[in-house]
Amino acid sequence: MLGSTIINHQQHVGLQKLSALAGLAHSFLGPNKKYKFIQDDTSGESVMVCSCFRILENLELTCSVGQLIYETVRAHQKVHHTGSGCLLFLAGVWSRVALEFLHRGIPVASIILAMSEGMDICMDVCRKSSVSIDNLDMEHSQSSTALSGLQLSKEPIKDTSQAPHQSKGTINVGHKSLKASAQRKIKLSRHFCEPKSENMSTEFQNPQPKLLDIAHIAECLSHGCVEAMNLVVECSRIQSKSSQQDSTCSKFNVSKVMTCVLPGLPEEEACTVQGCILLLSADQASVAHHLKDQLLKVVLIDGDLSGTYRHLGFKRLSGIQFMSEDTDLSSSSKEENWMEKVITTLMNLEVNLILISGLVGEKVIQRCSSHHILAVEKVKVSVLNAFADSTGAVPVTYVTQLSKSCVGAGVKLVIWRDLSSYKRKSSLAVNISTGRNIELVTVVVTSCIEGKLQALEDQFWTCAYRVHHALKDRALLPGAGVMEMLCAHHLQNQAERDPPQQTKAAAANPYRSVVLHHMAEGLIDYISTVMVNTGKFSKLQARTAVNQQLQDCNKNLGGAAFFSPLFSEAEKKDRLISSPVRSTNPPAVKVYDNLSVKQEAWRKALDLVFLVLQSDAEVITGIDQTEAVQKNLMLL
């Protein structure tokens, strides 16, 4: 056992690694994502990935910075399911920025101080520019004068201190900058003057004041994944219907959504279904046919359904010896005994359906099938809980625990689709639901290309969580690069000024201005990369366009509003293709981003940079002499 270290001096290897690895994120930014292949040279296997998280997951990075990146992205992905690309990209650009400062000899403490201040400025701008989703909804369905009167109280958190051009709702896709100020007048006057009543869609004619229109929010958040987002909207519609008995689209409970992946079908067949879609094997299929369209009794097993399964934390006896007089009681008959008991219990309770979170052996399934009991394995615990809530069943670990009070009733099984012609393991898809008010919705993701399924499923979850977070935050940020522009603008402005409150530390930091400028550069880099990814700009064009707009804005403060550089005039005609088409004459679809996700991603990116920036050595444990010599390490 040896500890070993490398000490990086002027060349900060960690930051270099971070910015190099962040290069992975470039092509995943923005709505036009490109697939990447990861090939394993030794086994010849390859995977197709379309997100930062998946690429990191498949790369198996062993260096410490790589590990740190993966841990950060994984933690972010686990909670937010979106924004990992943004996180990694910004970590990359800001680490380059930090590297640049180190070369200039700026002390680490000053870098951290100023960058933290920059982050606070950005967070503040985000907070102030956020648009309440209630307002978003209103904007969309400006139906009556009375409603716009109500609006005043619901205004987003107002910006009082800073320049007024950051007011919400000024992102106007498809409008030239010249027109922008005129447009802004209309927006502000919305609350006071007569509302515009043209081009409003008929389906949202009678909104209840409190009910949200998720379809509209979803549309703003689709970011190019229109199909996936449509599935989310459909989920929401089903869930709203089941709880309110009307046809609005005002509820979305992501924890009651599950996905089912079906390879072999064309992508257009993806759909959402109320209830829980489960894939069955040929054995189970016959039982399913027998049970269809009846009211079933269900039990829920949390664990494996097998004679040898023991609950978590149970230690098997090792020091036990069995003595016996007769030798025919072998292990197979023990299993048989158990089986007999299980079947008797289930028959006594008149159970038709067992949902099991763990595994079930083939034999057990067959035995159950012969008694017309359908046993389904690998059901998610969240699904078990949903059934527990809606049927009154109590999840148990062992079949022996079952009693009348644990059995749920009123479950319906419907044959959803016969897959036997596809020659795969699963031959039948059934829909299990409790007819009344179950919120559970299954999204069936399909594709002819098996390698794409993962990406499609991820895409769905990304969209679902975007909507989920929008509802949780009850606010959104102007998207399509506008937020980054605003922040860049503010950073640049703040860089020119003195620190707002004369705190001792801030006043003593002579590098504040240069650091803030460079942070803004990072954000500009982000926007221009997204622009480049659309395939319509070169890097240079993109940067010029962004810088031009920032300068224009600086010249006439308060006048011009930011519009998304992504949709400049030249792109106007192309836009119709990429934007979701709801009616023949679509209103300009605004693009929004999630507030908390963006803030989190930025924060985490900067935290990652801070951790790497402050690190100067790697301590590798458990390394041997020869390895150390090869890698040129110092041994302790």
Partner 1 sequence: MSRLVQKSPSLCTDLPLNNSDVCNKLRLLKELLKSCYGPTGRLKQVHNNIGGHVVTTSTSSVLLPALSSSQPLVNLIRSCILNHVSRFSDCGLFAAILCLTLIEEAKLSGLRRNVSIKVNKHLLGMCSSYLQEEDCGCRVVLDFCSSMNLITLTRSVIYSKPACVLAEVEALHMSKLAVQAFLLTVPCNSPGTVRLGRIVTVGVEGHPVLNSAVLTGLLVEVHDHLSLRMIKSMQTNPLRVVLFSASLAGDLSDLGDGIIEAHTGVDTDSQILDQLLEFCKHVVEDEVKLFVCQKVLHPVLQQYLRNHGVIVIDRVGVALMEPLTLLTGAQPVATLHTTIPAKAYGTVRSLSVKEFGSKTMLHLQPAAESAVCTMVVCHRNETMLSELKAVCQQAEHVLRLTLKEPSALLGGGCTETHLAAFIRNKSLNEVSQTLTAVECSQSEYLLGVEGFCRSLESVAAALQHDGGNSLTDLTHAHHWTLPADVTTENMEESLTFCGCGLTRNSPNMKWTHLNTKYPQFSPAPALRDSTVQPHVLDSFTAKLNALQVAVETANLVLDVRYVIQDTN
Ranges within 362-421 binding partner 1 (CB under 8 A): 385, 394, 396-398, 400-401, 405
Euclidean distance between CA atoms 225 and 539, whole angstroms: 24
Strand partners, 295: 412
Least gap, CB of 62 to partner 1 (angstroms): 4
Provide the sign of the torsion angle of the four alpha carbons 305, 308, 312, 314, taken in this order: positive
Q: Which is nearer to partner 1, 347 or 505 (CB)?
A: 505
Q: Taking CB under 8 A as the rule, does residue 62 contact partner 1?
A: yes
Phi, psi of 432 (to 5 degrees): -110, 125
Q: How far is the CB of 327 from partner 1 (least distance, A)?
A: 9
Strands 441-447 and 257-263: parallel
Q: Which is nearer to partner 1, 109 or 449 (CB)?
A: 109
Spell out the residues 6+ positions from residue 24 whose beta carbon is closer than 8 angstroms to its own. Answer: 52, 55, 56, 88
Give whichever of 66 and 263 is closer to partner 1, judged by the CB atom.
Answer: 66
Of 269 and 607, the one with the shorter C-beta distance to partner 1 is 607
Residues of span 84-113 touching partner 1 by CB under 8 A:
105, 107-110, 112
Distance CA 258, CA 272 (A): 10
Binding-site member from 266, 313, 332, 626 for partner 1 (CB under 8 A): 313
Nearer to partner 1 by Cβ, of 577 and 636: the residue is 636
Query: Which one among 47, 147, 545, 623 touches partner 1, defined by CB under 8 A?
Result: 623
Compare residues 106 and 444 and give the one whose CB is closer to partner 1.
106
Contact 519, 554 (CB under 8 A): no
- Judged by CB under 8 A, the residue of 146, 317, 404, 555 near partner 1 is 317
Give the residue among 290, 292, 296 at the shortest CA–CA distance from 410: 296
* Window contacting partner 1 (CB under 8 A); options: 155-163, 191-199, 533-541, 622-630: 622-630
Residue 317 CB, nearest distance to partner 1 (Å)? Answer: 6
210 versus 315: smaller Cβ distance to partner 1: 315
- Residue 568: which residues within 8 A CB-CB, separation 6 or more? 545
Residue 359 in tokens = 């595994």
Cα–Cα distances (Å) from 588 to 151, 173, 580, in that order, read 22, 6, 10
Query: Which one of residues 152, 178, 323, 577 is an interface residue with partner 1 (CB under 8 A)?
Result: 323
Binding to partner 1 (CB under 8 A) within 485-544 occurs at: 503, 505, 510
Q: Which of 155, 267, 552, 607 binds partner 1 (CB under 8 A)?
A: 607
Q: Which of 146, 178, 312, 577 binds partner 1 (CB under 8 A)?
A: 312
Interface with partner 1 in residues 202-241 (CB under 8 A): none
CB of 599 to partner 1, least distance (A): 10
How many residues of this chain interact with partner 1, rule: CB under 8 A?
71
Nearer to partner 1, 39 or 621 (CB): 621
- Considering the rule CB under 8 A, would residue 152 count as an interface residue with partner 1? no
Applying the rule CB under 8 A, the residues between 41 and 60 that interact with partner 1 are: 60
Taking the C-alpha atoms of residue 474 and residue 135, their distance in angstroms, rounded to an integer, is: 10
Smallest gap from Cβ 262 to partner 1, in A, equals 31
Stretch that binds partner 1, among 186-194, 308-316, 426-434, 483-491 (CB under 8 A): 308-316
Q: Which of 67, 255, 370, 548 binds partner 1 (CB under 8 A)?
A: 67
Pair 551, 470: CB distance under 8 Å: no
Stretch touching partner 1 by CB under 8 A, among 135-143, 217-225, 322-330, 429-437? 322-330
Give the span between the Cα atoms of 421 and 403, in whole angstroms.
Answer: 40
Q: Which of 23, 34, 46, 71 binds partner 1 (CB under 8 A)?
A: 71
511: exposed, middle or buried (Cβ count in 10 Å: 0-12, 13-18, 19+): middle
Q: Please, where are the H alpha helices in 497-559?
A: 504-507, 512-533, 539-555
Nearest CB to partner 1, comparing residues 123 and 226? 123
Q: Rounded to the nearest 10 degrees, how much is the dihedral formed by the CA atoms of 159, 162, 168, 171?
A: 180
Query: Least distance in Å: CB of 200 to partner 1?
Result: 40
In the structure encoding, which two tokens stand for residue 318, read together? Answer: 């090792």
CA pair distance 524, 519, nearest whole angstrom: 9
Q: How far is the CB of 121 from partner 1 (least distance, A)?
A: 13
620 binds partner 1 (CB under 8 A): yes
Map the footprint of partner 1 across residues 1-40, applying CB under 8 A.
1-3, 5, 7, 14
Please return the burial class of 358, using the count of CB atoms within 10 Å of its CB with bins 0-12, 13-18 and 19+: middle
449-468 positions binding partner 1, by CB under 8 A: none
Closer residue to partner 1, CB minimum distance, 203 or 618: 618
Separation of alpha carbons 217 and 595, rounded Å? 13
User: What would the two tokens of residue 181 be?
Assistant: 């100020």
d(C-alpha 215, C-alpha 202), whole Å = 14
Tokens of 458: 């991820």
- Among residues 153, 202, 322, 362, the one that binds partner 1 under rule CB under 8 A: 322
Q: Is 311 in the site for partner 1 (CB under 8 A)?
A: yes
Radius of gyration of the chain (CA): 29
Q: Is 320 in the site for partner 1 (CB under 8 A)?
A: yes
Q: Which stretch binds partner 1 (CB under 8 A): 68-76, 90-98, 290-298, 564-572?
A: 68-76
Residue 527's closest CA among 583, 569, 469, 568? 568
627 forms part of the interface with partner 1 (CB under 8 A): yes
566-605 residues near partner 1, rule: CB under 8 A: 600, 603-604
Q: Report if residue 619 touches partner 1, rule: CB under 8 A.
A: yes
Q: What are phi and psi of 339, to 5 degrees?
A: -55, -45
Neighbours of 528 (CB within 10 A): 24
